[in-house]
């Protein structure tokens, strides 16, 4: 087909309000705006979460989580899906006044999502207990702030 003929057909279709079909191998239009983030910004999200633990208020801790998030906690076999389930977990977890410290972190950042996985240590002021654990936090930018979409935590299987 001559090129002038194709140009004429496309012009006629455009004039009558019909969009030409996209090629099957064409990239879809990307309309999402990606939040620029640094490794330091994502690392600071743990500090925000840890500071909310220091408040000893389960509501403040759970405010770090997206409404549709999942918490797979260290000291409970039950996945926590709802706000009420997460608050129940933190109500009990906070009794011993925990404070966390990152020992090793690996952060990956993509468009409006980030993952922070590594090792951390919790010290419980009320009992003096120290627990070494593994963690994974996934975060999503909601247009205003980074929120936790999944949080998995488990105690280290081998004694140090």
Q: What is the pTM of this model?
A: 0.79
| Distance in angstroms (rounded) separating the CA atoms of residues 12 and 20 | 10
Which domains occur in the chain, in start order? 39-155 (3.10.450.50)
Look-up of token digits 């690392």: 43
Phi, psi angle pair for 14, to nearest 5°: -65, -40
* SS3 at position 89: helix
The closest of 100, 113, 147 to 32, measured between CA atoms, is 113
Does position 135 have pLDDT exceeding 60, yes or no? Answer: yes
Does position 91 have pLDDT exceeding 50, yes or no? Answer: yes
Range of lowest pLDDT (8-17, 42-51, 65-74, 139-148): 8-17
Question: Is 150:116 a contact under the CB 8 Å cutoff?
Answer: no
pLDDT digits (tens, 9 = 90+) for 12-49: 444 445 444 445 565 656 577 999 999 999 999 999 99
How many CB atoms within 10 Å of residue 108? 12
Give the ranges where 20-66 is alpha helix by DSSP (H): 39-54, 58-62
The closest of 150, 142, 88, 133 to 112, measured between CA atoms, is 142
């Amino acid at each position: 087909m001559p090129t002038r003929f194709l140009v004429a057909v496309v012009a006629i279709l455009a004039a009558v309000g019909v969009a030409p079909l996209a090629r099957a191998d064409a990239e879809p239009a990307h309309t999402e705006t990606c939040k620029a983030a640094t490794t330091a910004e994502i690392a600071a999200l743990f500090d925000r979460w840890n500071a909310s633990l220091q408040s000893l208020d389960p509501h403040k801790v759970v405010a770090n989580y997206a409404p549709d998030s999942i918490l797979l906690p260290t000291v409970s076999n039950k996945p926590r899906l709802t706000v009420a389930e997460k608050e129940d977990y933190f109500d009990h977890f906070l009794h011993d006044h925990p404070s966390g410290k990152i020992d090793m972190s690996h952060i990956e950042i993509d468009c409006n999502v980030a993952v922070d996985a590594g090792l951390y240590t919790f010290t419980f002021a009320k009992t003096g207990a120290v627990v070494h654990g593994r963690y994974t936090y996934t975060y999503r930018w909601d247009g205003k702030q980074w929120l936790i979409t999944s949080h998995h935590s488990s105690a280290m299987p081998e004694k140090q």
